[in-house]
Structure 1
């Protein structure tokens, strides 16, 4: 089929083709970036924390009067928790992955004299009870877990000190010692200057996400210190047998409340609830964008159908004349499909430029990664298919009109 007559026909009546092309361009730009943001947000929300989330819970108590036997209280709490049937491991821990309340260390260095480090990490520590690595179900990929002699007592009201050894995530180790493959035995400093504490790596866990879990790679920068933290605020992480979480946590709550009357239950939650809370914004945004994308595609398809129907009706006489001169149904159908491909292609080319401009704005404002080329290709294909499907109905109806009726009713 000759393309030139189709282009000449469109040039004589530019309004409809330009409106369809503009709608295609705007839809492509928005849908392309929306699909990428949806994928990015859902991928972020699905990242593993490195913990056995399905079987982990946290329970917290706050004292309503002074507690003088803090270490003994923590020890008795752990004994009481572990006596509950179905408890696999339990420990006092200062925070949990995805908990959103975070203890952090900034400016970690491998040289005490270094002052410009931008490496930071979440600082987990736990004392009484099982090791935090075992309780969380994290996987050691190098070195060992803490031994009893590694732990230090720390009363935050009286002193500030750091342990001699530490466990780090693989991501943090690679940030601190780029290019290295083994990290056990390496030393780094919690800060810079003469007061920076030196710690030696004794173990590396594959993954342990931070409580804030930012979208950046910093989410995996975590370290664990062996510290008996003597704080009256009680916070216990508990891993249960599969399928026993609800029953076990109810029993744990009852047992701990019966143990003392000088504190109140501040709250309890599962790690799954912590995940849902942390990523509620990402999931809401993804759901909203999915709805907007679907609605926009529907509006675009409806617009193309409406424009195509109007345009076909305006050319019924032309169609009838072509049919009278011997054009078959599939010739008429092919004419309108080719015409639509040309219009859609014009819209797609404009849409690509618009999509890249919009992505540049989003990269600058929202700090999301740049749009991969694959998303442009996918959205281009979607728009071509959408355009063809939208025009197929009007074109088929036009091709089916007998020549005598088409010319008489024009």
Structure 2
């Protein structure tokens, strides 16, 4: 089939083809970027924290009057928690992964006197109780855990102290010592001032996500210090046996409330609930973009169907004449399909430019990576398929018009 007659026919009525091509271009630009953002947001929300989230919970209390025996309170609380059937281990912590309330340390440097640093890390305290590494279920890939003599007591009302040793994530080690693969035994500094504290890395965990969990690589930049933090605000991380989380945590709450009457329960939640809360925005955005994508595809398909149906009604005489001159049904069907492919291709060419321009804008505003070429290719194919499926019905009806009927109704 020659393309020139089809193009000539479209040029005699440019408005309809241009509208369809513009709709295809706009749909491709938006859908292509929307699909990439959906994938990016869902992948971000699915990142593992490094902890045994399925069996971990936190419980928090806040004092409503002064507590003088903070250390003893923490010790008794942990004894009560560990006595609950179904509890595997527990410890006091200052924060949890995905908890959104974050303790951070910026300006970390590998060499004293280094003036500039973009390395920062979340600082987890390995408080009274079992080790955070054990309670969280972290994977220690290098070095060792803390020894009892390495722990320090830190009363924020009296003094400020830093530990001599830390455990870091592999991501933080790589940020501090680029190109290195082993970090245990290395020393770095908590700040770039001349009097910054030096700390030695005694262990490396594979992964420990920060409470804020940004979309960037900074989410994995964490360190753990052996600090017994004497704060009346209490947060305990509790690891339970599989399938025992709800029952055991209810018993933990009752046991802790029975111990003292000078504090109130702030909240109790599982790590899974913390994940859901942290990524609610990402999941909402993904859901909205999925709805927008489906809506745009439906609108584009409806526009192609409506326009093709109108063209069939307007060309009944032309169809009848062609049929009378010997054109077969498949010739009529092929005519409309080729016509749609030409219009869709024109829209795709324009849409590719719009998609790249929109992606450049989103890269600057949302800090997402640039659009991979694969997404452009997949969306192009999808638009061609959508156009062919949308025009198939009207094209089939056009091919089914009897020659005599078409001639009489001219």
The TM-score range, normalised by the shorter chain, is over 0.9
In 2, the alpha carbon distance for the partners of 1:53 and 1:219 equals: 16
SS of equivalent residue, structure 2 residue 161? coil
Q: Which residue of 2 aligns with 1:319?
A: 319
Residue 38 of structure 1 corresponds to 38
Is the partner of 1:122 in helix, strand or coil? strand
What's the CA shift string for 1:208-254, capped at 9, x where partnerless? 00000000010000000000001111110000000100000000011
Q: Secondary structure at the match of 1:106?
A: strand
* Partner in structure 1 of residue 231 of structure 2: 231
Deviation of 1:31 after TM superposition, in Å, equals 0.5
1:379: Cα distance to partner? 0.5
Partner of 1:171: 171
Backbone CA RMSD of aligned residues: 0.7
Cα distance between partner residues in 2 of 1:407 and 1:167: 86
Counterpart for residue 149 of structure 1: 149
- Cα displacement string for residues 338-378 of structure 1 (whole angstroms, at most 9, x for unaligned residues): 11111100000000001111111111111111111111001
Equivalent position of 2:387 in the other structure: 387
Deviation at 1:6, TM superposition (A): 1.0
Identify the residue that residue 219 of structure 2 maps to in structure 1: 219
C-alpha separation in 2, matches of 1:73 and 1:204 = 31
Aligned partner of 1:18 in structure 2 is 18
CA deviations on 1:5-43 (whole Å, 9 max, x unpaired) are: 111111111111111101100000010011011111100
SS at match of 1:401: coil
Match for residue 264 of structure 2? 264
1:51 lines up with 2:44 in the alignment: no
Where does 1:77-88 land on structure 2 (aligned, <5 Å)?
A: 77-88=77-88
Q: How big is the shift at 1:89?
A: 0.9
**Superposed counterparts of 1:223-302, under 5 Å:** 223-302=223-302
Mind listing any 5+ residue stretches in structure 1 that lack a counterpart? none
- Compute the displacement of 1:65 (Å): 1.4
- Distance in 2 between the 1:9 and 1:246 partners? 70
Separation in 2, partners of 1:229, 1:337 = 72
- Cα drift, residue 126 of structure 1: 2.1
Q: Which runs of 5+ in 2 are unaligned?
A: none
In the TM superposition, what is the alpha-carbon distance from 1:311 to its structure 2 partner?
1.1
Instruction: Return the alpha-carbon distance in structure 2 between the equivalents of residues 195 and 73 of structure 1.
Output: 35
For 2:273 and 2:338, how far apart are their aligned partners in 1? Answer: 53
| 2:345 alignment counterpart | 345
TM-score by length of 2: 0.99
* Aligned-partner Cα distance in 1 for 2:53–2:206: 15
How many angstroms apart in 2 are the aligned matches of 1:351 and 1:405? 41
In structure 2, distance between residues paired with 1:166 and 1:392: 66
Q: How far did residue 264 of structure 1 move?
A: 1.2
Aligned to 1:130: 130
**CA-CA distance at 1:69 after TM superposition:** 1.1
Q: Secondary structure at the match of 1:129?
A: coil
The ranges of structure 1 where at least 4 consecutive aligned residues each deviate by more than 2 angstroms after the TM superposition are none
- Are the counterparts in 2 of residues 16 and 311 from structure 1 also a CA contact under 8 Å? no
Counterpart Cα distance in 2 of 1:357 and 1:335 = 34
Could you tell me how far 1:266 is from its partner in structure 2?
A: 1.3
The residue that corresponds to 1:195 in the other structure is 195
Aligned length: 410
The alignment partner of 1:138 has SS state of coil
How far apart, CA to CA, are the structure 2 residues paired with 1:366 and 1:206? 28
| SS of residue matched to 1:153 | strand
Alignment partner of 1:78: what SS? helix
Q: Deviations over 1:364-402 (max 9, x none)?
A: 111111111111001101100000000000000001000
* 1:336 corresponds to: 336
Deviation at 1:292, TM superposition (A): 0.8
Compute the displacement of 1:194 (Å): 2.5
